[in-house]
Structure 1
């Protein structure tokens, strides 16, 4: 049942993000920028280096944090989720900054920030209303 709920919530969030992006593109008169589906889509070399460093830092931090919390502070295990959310926000903000400063389409950063806000809102709603069940 968990995976069915998770899949349904994921599909709803994806459809909502797509709809909001479509509406924002039409309201702000933005043209669609073609991106690969499973690609990093780096803006420039500096963006690639910063994002690679952030991914490395987040991986190491999450491994150490999960080890410490699992073996020493089991009551604080929710801190892993908070760390993941912080790294997601950092990733989206870095992408939005580089889209705003270094591309021909600076309005794309509005879509990136909007997507981040929708994803964070969905995570908070799922946790707050315990939509995936008790935990």
Structure 2
């Protein structure tokens, strides 16, 4: 059986200047880093790949809210509506806003080029926090 390319680190990245730009900001609005990603990548995976402090305790299984990000309205409106399980987890997110999403559920497309994901000032992890 062949293991996934992701497990072996054979991830193909776009040539510089040709990928989908994702800007990560901290809770105060300061730019952390701008990275380039491929279509189909999700914000959580890209953050982890570039050592951006977005937790993702459940590893993208939509069982926590630790990859909560806040998107600008113009990009939020380009995304499909969140599924019920994502909405349930968002209800537990710290600092929830009208444009909050789980980073693991934001799949990048060409029309999202230039998206900004702002990290909240804190996260709430039910597994660790015991609530």
TM band (smaller chain): under 0.3
TM-score by length of 2: 0.23
- Higher-Rg structure is 1
TM-score by length of 1: 0.22
Report which of the two has the higher share of strand: 2
